[in-house]
Structure 1
Amino acid sequence: MRRVLIPQNLQTLPPQLPKGEQHTITGQSMGTTWAVRYINTHQQSNDAVHALIQHELDLVVAQMSTWQEDSNLSVFNRADANTWHVLPASFFAVLDCALKVAAETNGAFDPTIGPLVNLWGFGPEGQRTSPPDTTEVKALHTYCGWQKIKLDSEGMRALQAGNVYVDFSGIAKGYSVDRIARALQNASIENYLIEVGGELYGAGIKPDGQPWWIALETSPDATSVTESVVALHGLAVATSGDYRRYFEHHGQHYAHTIDPRTGFPIDRASNALVSVTVLHAECMVADALATAFTVMGVDAALAYAKQKDIAALLIEHKADGFKEHFSPQLMAMME
């Protein structure tokens, strides 16, 4: 049995069905894989389209990777205290969005969580198989706090307050999807489905008139949950789950999603969310909110989603199995 979701605010449908073959291009970037399916209505070469996509991904890596020492982000993270830095446009846009989501979620999403991401073994400094000492966590936690970063929108500048280490792992993939979508549109490719590391965006339709149908990702353990499929027509999907990256130690599960307010990974005992999916017009926003909702927990996430008209699916692990929670905006897609 499947649950079918239809977006309430569809993009304008094309006046006629697209003509051309469906092509698929794949590659690797940001430590993950990417794939783009598109209808080749203008007989463009796959090599040219591949190069266009790779250019967008390379730009995001060059500006926002913590894994590259010469990226704009790494240079900012190493900068002296109390120094202002002019940022490239894309870097500034992502940082601006990240800080707005941080403010609106009371710090459940925080781009300055980088020192703790590294300490817990989920950053470029390498993996670990046991948790760090609590004193280490508390010491590095003092370096975090999205309020430490000040922006000068007119000058496209950001203030490095000192020892502030920004990490865009909860938003950069979504932003890369948005950039690819704009690049495809500018290249007169109007019917496509983009996927970067599990984050997606679809636009247009196929030659048979069907939209791009995708199944929403859930925890591999949640086999009892009804599969949900959604028509991606001018819509992005991002999912955060405690099963994606983690390590276990003495029976304790340590997920890659760290609560910026405590400095520790979300605890299954107090926050039983195993999967959060957000649907939004911008993949960057969906990506950040999926992370924030995972940290916030069921009640706070649903309250935020209702207030902001966000479509979200939350899957909670309870003693008797898994329970789905739907925001009102998502429930409207089922009607």
Structure 2
Amino acid sequence: MLANSRLRCHLVCFGMMLLLVESFGVRGSVAAEELVSLSGETMGTTYNVRLVPTADVVSETLQQSIDDRLEVVNLAMSTWDPESELSRFNRYEKTDWFPVSAATAEVVEQANTISEQSGGAFDVTVMPLVNLWHFGPEGQDRAKLPSESSIESARASIGYQLLHVRSEPPALRKDNPSLTVDLSAIAKGYGVDVIARLLDETGIENYLVEIGGEVRSCGVKPNGDRFIVGIEKPTPFVRAVQRKVPLQNSSMATSGDYRNFFEIDGKRYSHTIDPRTGRPVEHSPASVSVIAQSCMEADAVATTLMVLGPDAGYNWAEEHGYAAIFLIHPGERGAEVVSEIVERETSAFSQLVPTPENSSSAMTTWLISLGVFVAFMVLMSVGVIFSNRRIQGSCGGLAGLRDEHGQTMCQACTTPREDCEKALLEGMQSDSNSADVN
């Protein structure tokens, strides 16, 4: 019986170690399902979809459905296609209602809401200034800067207050016949939402959708882990990850000044135009990433925060509860000179995404605790196996307990000794018979 008890104790301890290691997340088995990847081109960039397929998903059919949905978005909102719905509205020189699709009306309504909230830092009517600074479809002559008079003239023809939208029936209207609209700062995010809805309709529960860096994830990967999205290090001509973000059932969009810019006489001019000044932003954020439920909203808010800057933008994001992280260029910070990229997170972002330092510290603490516990269990099992001693615990077990007169449990017991020994022998015999049967 004793040998059988020692073996049981050893197996329990060993099993406990396996259970702890497995629950910690070490997975040796290969998942039965694998991610399916679909990709293509849209909106002047690329899209990528990674998903865990269901039994009835046909990749070729799904790929065609994705392309068809994105083509509808392009035909509605592209400023590069002269026959798109938006291009035709921009050429429309009247101030009555212009019929548009429900999708275009939805995007413009969201844009106007953020414009109102941000005091015009986000403004989809900024297209004349985008073209003036050589970032639009009307030419790319970046050898010279626009004149002050041309900037003021362009500013006179913009303003989100001049753009109106209705949903029933969907239509746009402008107070100024020369008003034009550019949805490039929000349309990619909307495209991500469109594909996410398509996957939901198809019955796919686990996926990651990306269009030009704007992403949305739902569910988990085949091994049960969340999808990890990288925030790019904002360094021109270098591709590296600054921060890894576990993303689940939410969207993330990034706006930055480190890819699309030009330089004249050593000064950089960003493609992010401040509608309030008519000029490219000049403050220190290299990029801003925003997490939100809707990728359309995250896309627009990221641009808004780039325009507002690291201080006003941070305060605005905190006020409106947005999860955002600012990556700030090296340089002067008051009296201090910083040589590396500085990260500044809103409180909502910090709650969603643990910092690498805290995550590493927590992991180290957990590993140490696990190691101590496992070592203790192993030592106890070794003691049982090789010393033939029962485990009493640190307090000596029941034999160490005493009553109010200082007597041990055995001394205080009134049962005759021979009766105890007889009951013990009968119990041992019963245990031995039970072990033989097993």
> TM-score w.r.t. structure 2 length?
0.69
Alignment of 1:292-331 (within 5 A): 292-317=304-329, 318-319=331-332, 320-321=338-339, 322-331=341-350
Alignment of 1:77-226 (within 5 A): 77-129=90-142, 130-161=144-175, 162-220=177-235
SS at match of 1:150: strand
Q: CA deviation at 1:157?
A: 2.2
What residue is the counterpart of 1:13 in the other structure? none
Contact 1:217–1:239 at 8 Å: present in 2 too?
no
Contact 1:94–1:175 at 8 Å: present in 2 too?
yes
Change in 2 beyond 3 A, CA 1:253/1:330? same
Aligned residues: 314
Contact 2:232–2:241 at 8 Å: present in 1 too?
no
| Cα distance in 2 between the residues matched to 1:232 and 1:101 | 24
SS at match of 1:127: coil
Q: Which runs of 5+ in 2 are unaligned?
A: 1-30, 333-337, 355-438
* 2:289 pairs with 1:277: yes
What residue is the counterpart of 1:34 in the other structure? 47
Q: CA deviation at 1:323?
A: 1.7
Deviations 1:88-138 (A, max 9, x none): 000000000000010001111000001111111111112122322221111
Q: CA deviation at 1:226?
A: 8.7
Alignment partner for residue 287 of structure 1, among 293, 296, 299? 299
Structure number having the greater helix percentage:
2
- What amino acid sits opposite 1:150 in the alignment? H
SS at match of 1:330: helix
> TM-score w.r.t. structure 1 length?
0.90
Structure number having the greater strand percentage:
1
Contact 1:238–1:286 at 8 Å: present in 2 too?
yes
What residue is the counterpart of 1:257 in the other structure? 272
| Cα distance in 2 between the residues matched to 1:57 and 1:281 | 20
Change in 2 beyond 3 A, CA 1:284/1:68? same
| Cα distance in 2 between the residues matched to 1:276 and 1:334 | 15
Alignment partner for residue 245 of structure 1, among 260, 264, 288? 260
What residue is the counterpart of 2:66 in the other structure? 53
SS at match of 2:36: strand
| Cα distance in 2 between the residues matched to 1:19 and 1:159 | 53
Q: Root-mean-square deviation (CA), in Å?
A: 1.8
Change in 2 beyond 3 A, CA 1:301/1:36? same
Contact 1:79–1:160 at 8 Å: present in 2 too?
no
Higher relative contact order (CA 8 A, sep 6+): 1
- What amino acid sits opposite 2:222 in the alignment? P
Deviations 1:197-216 (A, max 9, x none): 01111111112111111112
What residue is the counterpart of 1:332 in the other structure? 351
